A and B are shown apart, each in its own frame.
Chain A
Amino acid sequence: MYDAGKIIIGLIVFLGFATFPIWHDGGKAVSAPEPEITAYAKKIGHCVEPEKWMRANHMQLLDHWRDAAVREDKRVYVSSTGEEYDISLQNTCLRCHSNKEKFCDRCHQFAGVHELYCWDCHLESKEMKKWAATDESF
């Protein structure tokens, strides 16, 4: 083999570059951002369904909520724990989770779920932030 030294050194350098991500971040996962729970939500203490289930299935729940309310006029959700909730993204979900940026957007950004257009229509307004700020008004 001609120029064996150069080639081998070149190969080592190439392998070093090619495998850089593996030995640099090897075994470590980038930590997912934690959704921030508002003080009001903490006071309430529970979501419509158990937190773990909500994390995995909130998108299905929101879809079912939408169809039930809009198309079947069933506007009350009886959760698996037997509690009743008004079906409303703006008036029920956002009452606790009034911090959309730190509750919804953060994780969606991380997970690459950008195509949602909920907020083109549903209001995430200052008024709602005011509700959350004045806990005692409920």
Chain B
Amino acid sequence: MIRTLLTALKTHPGVDGWLVTETATASRQAFYVLNKLETRRIQETREYQVTVYHRFAENEKTYLGSSQFAVSRKLPGKECHRMIEEAVHAASFIKNQDFELVEGGTKRRFRQTPPAGDAFELLDGVAHGFIDLSTDHSRFNALELFLTTSTLRTLNSRGVDLTKTLHQLEIEAIPSFDGEKQKVELYRHFVYPSLDWKQIRRDAATALEEVAARNAAGSIGEAKTLPVILRDENVKEFFQTLIEDYSYGSVYRQMTDKKIGDTLQKEPKGDVLTIGMRPACKADAFDRDGVILKPAVIVEKGILKDYYGPNQYACYLGLKPNGIYNTTAVLPGTNPIKTLRKTPHVEIIALSGIQIDMYSGYIGGEVRLALWFDGKETRPVSGFSFSGNIDRCLANLRLSKETVTMDGYSGPRFVALPEMELL
């Protein structure tokens, strides 16, 4: 199919540039309910996204219009030409600023080491890592495993021809605890770039410990104001939300009023932030535009230093594109978590989802499990919400010395936010 597409693109009149992304996915999936196998699935698909560019001039100004279409089945050459023709026609009405597609170099292929063994045997092995931890009271009521190999090839009219093959194990697990008075659960989602059996077992065991704590959790009582410590997945979401407005697209569309050189932390009294972006792994070497990814610093010591994102918008801003990254990387702090936990606080283990609205300055969420230290003892609590102001958080936050690496994030494992309203 790729040959038919490329031939059509190279010969069709009116095509002044093109970008093709081919995605081949091979996935083995297994679903377990109450410790039993419920369904097994295989996915084997190959799909294409095709962007056609058409350059035209009007009133002495040059525009580069584009239109994209998807191909998820074999098309004869004639049908390819019809779709390209429609795309060229649409692009001729799109008066977007002119820009250059990424220039290619040598054809390159990047590969991650695949997991060894039969996929379904591996999945059952992973499942045992969870199921075998079951007790009379606790188990994973639902477990979904996805072992996926994705091969992405990006080609464009300026010679880009890059391929990367990535593997990942994704797990959705529902640790559950049947207590005397109630049944409780938590939601856990893990992504592993390789089969790290030790880490998987540790994560499974921790999930069951946490859900047992949710069963034991009490009320936090009357409304109060306390510092809040976030950890793991919530720390990742916190930092990802913090920098999402600093993409070239957001800046070009004026979604943010921050410019390079502006401070994100007004009069910081806590730790200053250094936030970067980097590829997920060595094989994750380029983005969908064909930009070769190198680690980039977006925020340095609390100051906005650079942007990231698609080539098109970088060109509009007159900048060299950093590219679209998978991973946010944050420099850790100097305080060990022991220090951050010394004074009364609430440490959040599970939220229904952290809510951050950078425009209104809101940060908060509904807490499903937390550990409350009142200065004397620590007890599990649930069924309350926390909220506060993001600017005040940024000026006063403290980062842990301990770090964590997970899908999409690398950096301090804990972030202590200043006093928040707990209700």
**Chains A and B come from one and the same complex:** no
Name B residues whose Cβ lies closer than 8 Å to a Cβ of A.
none
